[in-house]
Amino acid sequence: MNIKEIEIKKNISSYIDFNSYIGKEIELTGMIQNLRILSWGAFLILRLPNYIIQTVIDKNKIQYPLENLSVESTVKIKGIVQNATIKDNSINPRFCEILVTDLKLISSPSINPLPIDTTKKELNVSLDTKFDLRPLSLRHPKQRAIFKISSIIFNEFGNFLTQQGFTRICSPKIVFSGAEGGANIFNINYFEKKAFLAQSPQFYKQMMVGVFGRVFETAPVFRAEKHDSSRHLNEYISLDIEMALENGYEDLILVETLILNHILEKIKTDCQNEIELLGITLPEITKIYTVKFSDVKDIIYKKYNKDYREEKDLSPEEERLISDFFKKEYNTEFVFVTHYPTEKRPFYAMSNPENPEETLSFDLLFRGLEITTGGQRLHKYEDYINKMTKLGMNIESFKSYLQAFQYGMPPHGGFGLGLERITASICNLTNVKEASLFPRDINRLEP
């Protein structure tokens, strides 16, 4: 018999109030972010879960062969916290440092030299190298900062909606059919049947409106589109909501604005260090601006002399131009474009009763990039049957989804927000892949 009783520890937090430690001893285990050896000792910058802190080794105080240490080694140190003024803005906190009294080497890299240098202010490597060496490149403070901000966006999306009475759902990612059509969906083998990777939680979140009234999901979606651009991924995190509507799609625009304001507020308070390190300016949303799709076409024709009025969608250029227009004329970086043409929206989109050519839908453009698509959905079973028949769709294959509408549904709608896109825009990244830890694109499947 080998039964063991293990003590239940009350506190496993990695947050440290360094202020209260000034003059006192502390024990820390972390990885060496940077190491500067001088004649009298060394500065050893230690990477911890929530901090990057400077420690000082005085040769006279501790006997340790410094040549045994290297960047990316794991060490356990004991030392006294003392006041300091540190200029390097990748270090946090900067008001103190640790005078090391004891040091133990726990683990070292098996490769020397490391393939890239993560100790400099900028990680000066190409995108391809950055992704090939992801486990290492992510250790650079600026890379870490991007994903700290991404984590706040992800968490606060859920926190805010939970506060507002939304229920978090987890819909399956192995599905029987696609929400958005056939060509751009990944096929998988599901025992003897054919299945797909979900392109969107669309059907499930709609069904769940009949259960909870307000739901959200934060999960990956998969797109088999062979796009090759700086704003596309084949797997990305979709922040989705779906809710019963009281006043139509404007309810959704309001909810999205409130979510974004909450997230931006939280980034401002929790990520001061990351904001400074990345040198970014957070946007502000003081007013909501919406503009009809057809008016966007007219503005671009009149103000920018480009005639795209026959196109039923907005090109990336138009998205940049209209964002530019709203920035100049209305001093806003967020603009909701509404009433997209019915023929460009999926079957479940509700058309405007006053003009069936356009839908009660919207995209949110932020700094020239489309970060959201949403809108009101059909909620009557008959409307689905009529619309799907009109489009020549196989109603039988959507039977399980259509149940929800047979059993009754309120007017409802929702939207999806691309996590990597909003993160990239907030962090001023030129390629969304940089906002993905391990990006999946047309050519990349690893790491």
By CB under 7 A, what part of segment 253-312 binds RNA?
A: none
- Positions in 145-184 near RNA (CB under 7 A): 180, 184
State whether the Cα torsion 264-136-237-335 is positive or negative: positive
For RNA, the closer of residues 7 and 122 by Cβ is 122
For RNA, the closer of residues 126 and 247 by Cβ is 126
- Positions in 177-236 near RNA (CB under 7 A): 180, 184, 200, 223, 225-234, 236
- Positions in 331-370 near RNA (CB under 7 A): 344, 363, 370
Task: Measure the CA–CA gap between 217 and 102, rounded to whole angstroms.
Answer: 47
- Choose the stretch contacting RNA; rule: CB under 7 A; options: 22-30, 33-41, 246-254, 263-271: 33-41
Residue length, the chain? 447
Task: Tell which one of 53, 56, 267, 291 touches RNA (CB under 7 A).
Answer: 56
User: Could you tell me which of 339, 329, 304, 328 has the C-alpha nearest to residue 318?
Assistant: 304
Task: Tell which one of 7, 17, 67, 354 touches RNA (CB under 7 A).
Answer: 67
Task: Tell which one of 11, 14, 163, 443 touches RNA (CB under 7 A).
Answer: 443
Task: Tell which one of 79, 375, 411, 416 touches RNA (CB under 7 A).
Answer: 416
CB of 275 to RNA, least distance (A): 18
Would you call 273 exposed, middle or buried from its count of C-beta atoms within 10 A (0-12, 13-18, 19+)?
Answer: buried
- Choose the stretch contacting RNA; rule: CB under 7 A; options: 116-124, 142-150, 162-170, 268-276: 116-124
446 near RNA, rule: CB under 7 A: no
Output the DSSP codes for 363-402.
EEEETTEEEEEEEEB---HHHHHHHHHHTT--GGGGHHHH
The answer to whether the beta carbons of residues 433 and 439 sit under 8 Å apart is: yes
Task: Measure the CA–CA gap between 316 and 369, rounded to whole angstroms.
Answer: 8
CB of 334 to RNA, least distance (A): 13
Q: Which residue carries 């929702």 as its tokens? A: 414
E-strand spans in 59-173?
74-83, 96-107, 167-168
34 near RNA, rule: CB under 7 A: yes
For RNA, the closer of residues 158 and 270 by Cβ is 158
Task: Tell which one of 62, 80, 86, 224 touches RNA (CB under 7 A).
Answer: 86
110 near RNA, rule: CB under 7 A: no
Q: Which two tokens stand for residue 172?
A: 């399956």
User: Residue 219: which H helix or E strand, with range?
Assistant: strand 214-222
Task: Tell which one of 71, 198, 335, 404 touches RNA (CB under 7 A).
Answer: 71
Q: Which two tokens stand for residue 22?
A: 């000034």
Compute the radius of gyration of the chain from its Cα atoms: 26
For RNA, the closer of residues 117 and 295 by Cβ is 117
Q: How many residues bind RNA (CB under 7 A)?
A: 77
- Positions in 395-414 near RNA (CB under 7 A): none
